[in-house]
């Protein structure tokens, strides 16, 4: 019980204000709660199994450069999709396929959390408390999982509250900027890992990817504005 409570408190505190908690605020304006809970909880279980079970071993083989880059591009895609918007008819049609939103949420949450401080905390706690005991490993896993879920539920509650109190346009704008900011941060980290932090090549690559994203979003926004004026 002491191990469980210690791990739960540590992971809960580590997750507060983290990017995946803020991502849930953005997701609340785009997806159904059932899809968000399913996708994020599945990702949480998988992430903590990796952290407690084989996370330490896998950390030697996972290429964080690729993970950060893919995560950044995924966040950019979510930002673009939020800006682009979909008609109500298309959205209803998409929601009939429950697997699609769940997979999208699972992927973005998994990539956002993989190698993040809360997963690294899980690996560290597992190394400190497991002591070759299956029961201790289970306590660490349960503490990590519940700590992450409780912290992220706060982000989801905030997102749902904003959705019910704010016009859709404002929440979509907030969601766009949350996704875009984390996309920029992830791409910047990826370029730093690929070319070396602070190098000219890293800065050029980061600025190039960000500029392409900005141009695509600018064109999309301009097109939507023109279509709105015609209507």
pLDDT score at 110: 82
Determine the length of the chain: 231
3-state secondary structure of 65: helix
Cα-Cα-Cα-Cα dihedral sign, residues 134, 116, 28, 36: negative
Element of type H or E holding 170:
helix 168-195
For residue 164, CA distances in Å to 104, 157, 227 come to 23, 11, 27
The C-alpha atoms of residue 123 and residue 117 are separated, in whole angstroms, by 10
The residues spanned by each domain of the chain are 2-230
For residue 59, what pLDDT is reported? 46
Q: What is the pLDDT of residue 88?
A: 39
Task: Please list the rounded mean pLDDT of every run of 10 residues in the chain (231 residues).
Answer: 82 73 78 86 85 55 69 78 56 51 82 71 71 78 88 83 72 78 87 90 94 92 76 61
Quote the pLDDT of residue 83: 74
Q: Under 8 Å CB-to-CB from 162, ≥6 apart: which residues?
A: 25, 28, 29, 171, 174
- Does residue 180 contact residue 221 with C-beta atoms inside 8 Å? no
| Residue 56: per-residue pLDDT | 43
pTM summary value: 0.61
């Amino acid at each position: 019980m002491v191990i469980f409570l210690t791990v739960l408190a540590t992971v809960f505190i580590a997750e507060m204000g983290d990017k995946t908690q803020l991502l849930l605020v953005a997701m609340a304006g785009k997806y159904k709660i059932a899809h968000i809970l399913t996708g994020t909880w599945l990702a949480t279980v998988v992430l903590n199994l990796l952290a407690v079970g084989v996370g330490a071993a896998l950390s030697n083989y996972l290429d964080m450069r690729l993970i950060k880059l893919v995560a950044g591009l995924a966040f950019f895609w979510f930002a673009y999709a939020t800006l682009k918007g979909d008609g109500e008819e298309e959205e209803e049609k998409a929601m009939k396929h429950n697997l699609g939103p769940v997979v999208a949420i699972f992927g973005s949450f998994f990539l956002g959390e993989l190698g993040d401080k809360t997963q690294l905390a899980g690996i560290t706690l597992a190394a400190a408390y497991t002591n070759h005991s299956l029961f201790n490993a289970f306590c660490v896993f349960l503490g990590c999982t519940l700590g992450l879920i409780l912290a992220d539920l706060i982000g989801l509650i905030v997102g749902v509250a904003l959705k019910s109190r704010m016009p859709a346009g404002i929440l979509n704008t907030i969601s766009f900027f949350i996704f875009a900011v984390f996309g920029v941060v992830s791409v910047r980290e990826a370029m730093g890992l690929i070319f070396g932090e602070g190098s000219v090549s890293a800065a050029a690559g980061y600025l190039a990817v960000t500029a392409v994203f900005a141009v695509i979003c600018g064109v999309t926004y301009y097109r939507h504005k023109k279509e709105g004026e015609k209507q």
